[in-house]
Structure 1
């Protein structure tokens, strides 16, 4: 099956019915979880805490959480794109996510060439690369290891988290710093559900 070029700019996805509005909220939450995990991961890098096993494990958990939540967000965006068939397999999704990362590289180069890139986005050579063909596949591998009990999480078979970070972090980073528009959880259009506590938790926990 030939899939359309994945150009699902998340700002412009059309979502009108109640199901799509609810799904938008779920995606906004998934994106928020990705951002929170990433922010906390960055804090561990500048932490004055002495390097030890606990800190290393914390960094591992935060980074893999970030990667997994971001994967779920973009997977959800692909599912909302009308140009993409309702039923796509994981191999097709791999290609879609790889092409989306490639599109972000192209946009970064265009911003630099046209003179409206942010100050920190000034090294064109950094963006003048090709996204490796296995990017989407390896992103899926890492996400699966985080979500399932799998010995590959620590054997590093296929690809380890360290290898993933070294090879793909520049692309993952570009996918988290973009303008998410409608999926910004601080926007008023995101209708967060209000928890309703109907039971005494102490009774539920039989304490």
Structure 2
């Protein structure tokens, strides 16, 4: 960032809110894939919440444990942090807070966006877990040297917008 002003603050907040939203949705999709059950994304209520939060909490802990084990085995990449960063128990409320922030700071119109939820506190408390989850899934981002797929309506929309511009 270069400088500081209200517009940069607004854009920074929204960019991180988008990151939270998209990462949560990604892991929701991973859960459906891992369980070969897209039905979970259609369920509502406490059962769905319990299942998804359990998946996210367990996944975050698995990632932290994996890095801890790599460090202990002497096989960790040189870019990893000190073992104290990973040798932790992911807080039980992490998955619940992740869902709530995903819903309120980006996913839904709600007065809590600016009045009740502190994205700063969320960041300080949980960013290392979100970043670790993002980094763990990096192999999913990008096209790995293959031709980018035709995404049908997504591709058609872009073509239409370009035509409308000219």
Scaled by the length of structure 2, the TM-score of the pair is 0.81
Distance 1:73 1:86, change over 3 A: same
**Following the alignment from structure 1 to structure 2, what is the Cα–Cα distance between the partners of residues 175 and 73?**
10
The yes-or-no answer on 1:193 pairing with 2:151 is yes
Superposition RMSD in Å? 2.4
1:153-172 alignment to 2 at 5 Å? 153-156=113-116, 159-172=117-130
Please say if 1:135 is aligned against 2:90.
no
Distance 1:86 1:51, change over 3 A: same
Q: Per-residue deviation at 1:129?
A: 1.0
Q: What are the residue-to-residue correspondences of 1:88-107 with 2, within 5 Å?
A: 89-107=48-66
Residues 84 and 135 of structure 1: is their aligned pair in 2 closer, same or farther, counting only changes over 3 Å? farther
When residues 152 and 115 of structure 1 are mapped into structure 2, their CA distance, relative to the original with a 3 A threshold, is same
Distance 2:115 2:122 in 1: 14
Structure 1 residue aligned with 2:141: 184
Higher helix share: 2
Between Structure 1 and Structure 2, how many residues are aligned?
Answer: 153
Structure 1 counterpart of 2:11: 58
Q: 1:152 aligns with which of 112, 115, 118?
A: 112
How far is 1:82 from its partner?
Answer: 2.5
Q: Structure 2: state its 5+ residue gaps.
A: 41-46
Flag structure 1 segments of 5+ consecutive residues without an equivalent.
1-46, 203-207
The answer to which structure, 1 or 2, has the higher relative contact order (CA under 8 A, 6+ apart) is 1
* CA distance, structure 2, for counterparts of residue 172 and residue 120 of structure 1: 17
